[in-house]
Amino acid sequence: MNIETAVPLAKMTTIGTGGPAKAFARPRSLDELEEALRFAADGGLAVVVVGLGSNLLAADDGVEALVVRLEGELAEVEVEGAGVVAGGGATNAVCLHRARDAGLGGFEFACAIPGTVGGGVKMNAGAYGRDWSELVARALVATADGAEWRALSELELSYRSSALRPGEVVARVELRLEPRPRDAIRATVAELIAQRKATQPTNKRTFGSVFKNSPGEIGAGRMLELCGLKGYRIGGAVISPKHANFIENAGGATSGDCIALMVEARRRALEQFGALLEREVALVGGLDLPDQPT
């Protein structure tokens, strides 16, 4: 297992920010993943998984950890009966494509979520009223002590959250799907993508939703829009003029700029709506967003 050093994470996040990883591994099989995890444990290094980096902000001065990106077998998708078995590093796009070709539906809602299947488990990703918790049968979770299958109930998937702890790596996922004609799948996907393009900055560098929506409150995006934050800029990062729950890299943004925007957005939401916005984006390295707005 080759361990690389000083790999720039800006190249691995959709927002395009982040400093170097102290150590970086690209395991292509479960054995290689376990070897990398043992390497980290032996060296006292924390483990961070990066999928497509589509909901991830990494510290500008780098991440003191072994950063792992799943490749090879761990990014493949196999169709099995009325479901698929996807590597944790398989992209949602490939998974959807394979399912559609096999005439299996149910994963269409993921068409506009630019992540991996493993990242989807960790975040319980979702859209259009559906999420991973409706499809996952079980997930193979690896740590330095080995790998074990966890049933859906053990993963405790809830709104954009799971019970997976830092350093636990989703290596493989079994998804339950249902037979559906390919044309119907194509039509649903086309419709959902058109809806996305109309409302979200799909052609910009972002990390998806910044904050979670709270039940019973207006959505975080609408709230921040009413705070007058659309187009608000700090350094190279700007609150999307199209959807205020997105931060765009307008050129030369740093993760620090994004955090500064998040601090200001939370301050304004608390002041104007009495709402304490909870972040959705995962932070790695020394990044922090204080519990209370300042």
- Looking at the annotation, which residues are catalytic? 160, 209, 280
E strand intervals along 144-281: 146-151, 169-176, 178-179, 233-234, 237-239, 247-249
Residue 118 within binding range of ligand FAD, rule CB under 6 A = yes
- The span of 19-27, 29-37, 121-129, 224-232 binding ligand FAD (CB under 6 A) equals 121-129
Could you identify the residue written with the tokens 């799943």? 70
Distant-in-sequence, close-in-space partners of 231: CB < 8 Å, separation ≥ 6: 238, 239, 241
Hey, which residues between 7 and 46 contact ligand FAD (CB under 6 A)?
14
Contact flag: residue 207 with ligand FAD (CB under 6 A): yes
How far apart (Å, rounded) are the C-alpha atoms in residues 188 and 181? 11
Give the nearer residue to ligand FAD in terms of CB position, either 182 or 212: 212
Q: Which of 21, 50, 224, 258 binds ligand FAD (CB under 6 A)?
A: 50
- CA-closest candidate to residue 124, choices 151, 176, 164: 164
Return the residue nearest ligand FAD (CB atom).
51
Give the shortest CB-23-to-ligand FAD separation in angstroms.
Answer: 15
DSSP 204: S
Q: Which residue in the block uniquely carries the two structure tokens 């698929």?
A: 84
Q: Does 56 bind ligand FAD (CB under 6 A)?
A: yes
Is residue 245 within the footprint of ligand FAD (CB under 6 A)?
no
Distance CA 42, CA 64 (A): 15
249 binds ligand FAD (CB under 6 A): no
Among 19, 115, 285, 293, binds ligand FAD (CB under 6 A): 115
Q: What are the strands, taking DSSP E only, across the chain?
A: 4-8, 20-25, 46-49, 56-58, 63-68, 77-80, 83-87, 104-105, 126-127, 130-131, 136-143, 146-151, 169-176, 178-179, 233-234, 237-239, 247-249, 282-284
Per CB under 6 A, 52 contacts ligand FAD: yes
287 binds ligand FAD (CB under 6 A): no
- CB proximity list for 273: less than 8 A, separation 6 or greater: 217, 218, 223, 226, 227
Among 26, 98, 100, 122, binds ligand FAD (CB under 6 A): 122
Q: How far is the CB of 148 from ligand FAD (least distance, A)?
A: 14
Nearer to ligand FAD, 182 or 222 (CB): 222
Under rule CB under 6 A, residue 86 binds ligand FAD? no
Site residues (vs ligand FAD, CB under 6 A): 14, 48-56, 70, 88, 112-116, 118-120, 122-123, 125-127, 164, 169-170, 202, 206-208, 282
